[in-house]
Structure 1
Amino acid sequence: MHEIPKTPQGFLDALPHCRALGMLMVSCGDGKAVIDMPYDENLIGDPKTRVVHGGAVSALMDTCCGMAVFFHPDQPDSTATIDLRIDYMRSATPGQTIRAEAVCHQMTRNVAFVRAVAMDEDRARPVATATGAFTVERRLPEESA
């Protein structure tokens, strides 16, 4: 089994899609995560408006939510997305960094519940909001030895 890095930046660096999308760690810990995704012309979804593709925003929010779970004080050994609902409110402003902020607001034995918001530099209105459920996986004591 591949070992998951136990530092927030190590977590991001270990995921090729995060590197490809240019994600940058802002802060992470105590069940909260903040990640920036700088504007990149390679992420444009509409050449006419130059707006970043919604799939890139989705990947940013999914990653941010997963990190909020993984770096929660209850310290799961791994996590994966069960369900993620994203509501797109408006297009991100071309040329601006998009920031995702996620909070793990409830963790049960097997499932974590997360809320997130993505904003561009205007910060006036959300680009998107998300709610999700993520697995909470813990190794059995004999697996840790």
Structure 2
Amino acid sequence: MSEQDRKFDPAKATAFFTGRGHSGWLGLRYSDHGDDWVELELPWREDLLGEDGQRVLASGPILSLMDMASGMAIWRAMDEFTAIATLDLRVDYVRPAREGASVFGRSQCYRLTRSAAFVRGLAHDGDADDPVAHIQAVFMKIAPTARL
């Protein structure tokens, strides 16, 4: 299937998702994508720091980055936007992100079943070989219901 024939385009969808709500407030941006993966960017900001006196990005924004990248990877793999819900998202933090550096979240949907989607990925601050965190997740696919 050619890129023009795809129904779900993460580059276009990111503008919609990040134009409002939590993702918009975080300032998430599109970075790159493939057939079953999406990478988003979380720009470094002072107001996203964790503990007082530490110049380290809080873990919550990284979790949000990875959740959004994972959802978009699933929609990319399914080639459609449909309702999904995060069932389990495990984040293993390896090290703090470097001060002043954007964090990139890349998630890959490696398996789709009738009712679930399985995702893995990593967050990095410029070098994917030196990750900030690894993730593993399971999402539930929510079937549309008929209205009576």
Residue 130 (structure 2) pairs with residue 125 (structure 1)? yes
Give the one of 62, 72, 92 matched to 2:77. 72
Q: Unaligned stretches of 5+ in structure 1? A: none
Q: TM-score, normalised by structure 2?
A: 0.83
Q: Assess, with a 3 A threshold, how the Cα gap between structure 1 residues 125 and 99 changes in structure 2: closer, same or farther.
A: same
Runs (4 or more) in structure 1 with deviation over 4 Å come to none
- Give the corresponding residue for 1:33: 38
Aligned residues: CA RMSD: 2.2
Q: Unaligned stretches of 5+ in structure 2? A: 1-7
Distance in 2 between residues matched to 1:75 and 1:81, nearest whole Å: 17
- Give the corresponding residue for 2:91: 86
Distance in 1 between residues matched to 2:81 and 2:27, nearest whole Å: 26
- Where 1:17 maps in the other structure, the secondary structure is helix
The Cα of 1:122 is off from its aligned counterpart by 4.5
The Cα of 1:72 is off from its aligned counterpart by 1.6
Q: TM-score, normalised by structure 1?
A: 0.84
The Cα of 1:75 is off from its aligned counterpart by 2.8
- Where 2:89 maps in the other structure, the secondary structure is strand
Percent identity of the aligned residues?
32
Residue 55 (structure 2) pairs with residue 50 (structure 1)? yes
> Number of residues paired by the alignment?
138
Distance in 2 between residues matched to 1:85 and 1:13, nearest whole Å: 23
Distance in 1 between residues matched to 2:20 and 2:90, nearest whole Å: 22
Q: Assess, with a 3 A threshold, how the Cα gap between structure 1 residues 40 and 120 changes in structure 2: closer, same or farther.
A: same
2:18–2:27 contact (8 Å) kept in structure 1: no
- Give the corresponding residue for 1:101: 106
Distance in 2 between residues matched to 1:124 and 1:32, nearest whole Å: 17
The Cα of 1:67 is off from its aligned counterpart by 0.9
